[in-house]
Structure 1
Amino acid sequence: MWRLIFLSWLVSPPTSHPQLSFRFVSPRTVSPQLKRFHFTENKMGSPFNLIFYCDDSLRAVQLSKECFTIVDSLNAIFSDYMEESEINRLSKQPASKKVKVSAELFSMITQSRRAWINSGGTFDITVGALTRLWRKAKKEKRFPEIEEIKQAKKTTGFEKLVIDSHSNSVSFTLKGIELDFGGIVKGYAAQKMIDHLKSKSISMALADAGGDIAMGDAPPGKQGWTISINLPEQGLDVWDKKLELKNCAVATSGDIYNYTLHNGKKYSHIIDPQMGYGVTSQRNVTVIAKDGATADWLATACSILPIKKALALMKKESAALLIATIENEKIRIYKTEKFDSYFMR
């Protein structure tokens, strides 16, 4: 996943907590009691950054612990790396057996079903077998065989997942279906952190879950949080225009960091469920939406959909989209009408 970069001024005093990277600076404006706190931990295979404003150092440390504990609890449900995660245990169940799942997992499955329908099947959590195949092949430094992809595709398709809303249970129509929430769970986790802080009367906050960012109110004296955008094939270079956001979420998708190179062509880590292959278009996608989970899955879907369909989907979801792609060796920008309103003025 390529990255959004939140811009900030940091002062880094020695940390007094062995597991947290603890930083703060006093804000330049409004309340003299508020301090800016920045905590960092590695979660879900990515650096998670949490920034918020609070008037008490001890309370800030406690709140950060609570937020990262929430992320750990979500990882125990949605990780496809942890052998005993809830989704991995679910995938081992016999076909047609109804399994009652946790409220968190059931909620995410129902949200993912809506995303699957609205995206025309381009966002699909049943791509787990394909994800594992590509991950294994990359580790072995080889390209997946056509027959391997055909076999993995047999267990792909949300229609093979049966949802019973009366009992909060799910079942599979055939054995071997594996779930992958990688295209939605980090945005969901970032939003959960922001929501938790709001429940504790902390409104000025930003949670960055490996590039999927959810935000509360703007920092003191600011109109919003300042976010920079990478451009395709430009490494760490960022666009000269910057976003200024609050009370929303922003997510990105692209192949700048994670891809497989085969015969001179880049195959993104984002897999097209209908084709079984990683996306090959040189496209970076930025989505601004009402919450982290929505921004995350929309960024995934818009990396796969044709550009016109991606723009239409964003209109339906009341979200904003910017696609930076390379055409004829030049960067071309596509965006929804409302995207420009989020740029700094």
Structure 2
Amino acid sequence: MGTTWHVTYLPGPQTAPPEQVQASLEGLLVSVNDSMSTWQVDSEISRFNRGVVGSWVPVSGHFARVMAEALRIGERSGGAYDVTVGPLVELWGFGPVQPRMELPQTSAIDAARNRVGQQFIEFDGELQRLRRLRKVELDLSSIAKGYAVDVLANALSEQGIDSFLVEVGGEMRVAGSSPRGDAWRIAVERPEPGARAVALGIALEDIAVATSGDYRNYFELEGRRYSHSIDPRTGYPVAHDLVSVTVLADDCMTADGWATALTVLGADEALALAEAEGLAVYLMRRDGERIVPLYSSAFAPWLEQSTPTQ
């Protein structure tokens, strides 16, 4: 996935040696990568994207589970989340190409938008297959890291490991107690370009957390900043004041996907949708030089034992 991964766990009396645990987890990561990496020409997703439009393609259990959740979040977010947004991401210079030195033409944006839309993907969950109704391409990078976290977390549980922290590319899931014997302390980063600072420390047990923001990956042109978060409904980078979204959920795949969707929506719409969906969400919006926090009612219980540093 072009990123790093990290696991901390407390072994039980019957836990295998660390080298064996690591090898088993690495094997699972390889299987997820082989399924959903757009950087591998022979991966399952790459083969699907090269396939014939209109033809049904059988998919693996990994792929089917992620597609079902991705399409659900896309529908519930009103199209703010869309796993076919890749052509727009590449057009704006946030794909595997050099950053843009000029803005794309309107005609190019319109052409790319014609290749975007999850409504052109038909998914048959019962038979575990899907097909394209138009020449769109899938990119699951906005949710696959979260799914990989879940795969590793479930594997640790199956090995009798009850206390762990699993992290892939910044998305994570915790269970049980930390090595200190208390809850895991997770930092929510303050959205400052070029700096590393903590906005909030949260005590977590048996839950997943994912964060999305526009303060790390962007470019500036003629005095204006262009975020890597592209709104698939308009074809343009988001231009609102929402700079960071943190989502808590039972599984990391769901947290990961929703963090991306809410980032696209902007603070007011994101908070309203979080309330409607019962999501535990912590938002940060920029007001001039200030960072203003907002949170959903489902997130409030975690603030009672949090450590604010703003």
Same fold (TM over 0.5): yes
CA deviation after TM superposition for structure 1 residue 115, in Å: 0.7
Is residue 107 from structure 1 mapped to residue 72 from structure 2 by the alignment? no
1:228 aligned partner: 187
1:288 aligned partner: 248
2: CA distance between counterparts of 1:91 and 1:63?
Answer: 34
Q: Which residues of 2 match residues 301-320 of structure 1 at below 5 A?
A: 301-320=261-280
1:16 aligned partner: none
2:298 aligned partner: 338
1:159-206 Cα shifts (integer Å, max 9, x gaps): 10012234322111122x111111111111111111110011101011
What are structure 1's unaligned runs of at least 5 residues?
Answer: 1-43
2: CA distance between counterparts of 1:196 and 1:137?
Answer: 32
1:305–1:171 CA distance, 2 compared to 1 (3 A): same
In the alignment of these two chains, the number of paired residues is 300
1: CA distance between counterparts of 2:99 and 2:284?
Answer: 32
CA deviation after TM superposition for structure 1 residue 61, in Å: 1.9
Is residue 255 from structure 1 mapped to residue 242 from structure 2 by the alignment? no
Q: 2:18 aligns with which of 60, 71, 78?
A: 60
CA contact (8 A) 2:12 2:160 kept: no
CA deviation after TM superposition for structure 1 residue 55, in Å: 4.6
CA deviation after TM superposition for structure 1 residue 138, in Å: 5.5
CA contact (8 A) 1:138 1:260 kept: no
CA deviation after TM superposition for structure 1 residue 221, in Å: 5.0
One-letter amino acid of the counterpart of residue 302, structure 1: L
- The RMSD of aligned alpha carbons is 2.0
Q: Provide the secondary structure at the position in 2 that maps to 1:308.
A: helix
CA contact (8 A) 2:240 2:266 kept: no
1:253-301 Cα shifts (integer Å, max 9, x gaps): 1122211222222222222111222223341111111110011011101
Q: Provide the secondary structure at the position in 2 that maps to 1:184.
A: helix
One-letter amino acid of the counterpart of residue 114, structure 1: R
2:171 aligned partner: 212
Q: Which residues of 2 match residues 1-40 of structure 1 at below 5 A?
A: none
1:52–1:137 CA distance, 2 compared to 1 (3 A): closer
1:129–1:312 CA distance, 2 compared to 1 (3 A): same
CA contact (8 A) 2:56 2:131 kept: yes
Q: Which residues of 2 match residues 168-187 of structure 1 at below 5 A?
A: 168-175=128-135, 177-187=136-146
One-letter amino acid of the counterpart of residue 164, structure 2: A
1:134-163 Cα shifts (integer Å, max 9, x gaps): 335861542433322221110111110012
Taking every aligned residue pair, what percent have the same amino acid on both sides?
A: 30
2:229 aligned partner: 270
CA contact (8 A) 2:275 2:297 kept: no
Q: 1:244 aligns with which of 203, 209, 212?
A: 203
1:23-80 Cα shifts (integer Å, max 9, x gaps): xxxxxxxxxxxxxxxxxxxxx1112111111157862221122112211111111111
1:48 aligned partner: 5
Q: Provide the secondary structure at the position in 2 that maps to 1:233.
A: coil
2:86 aligned partner: 128
2: CA distance between counterparts of 1:54 and 1:45?
Answer: 29
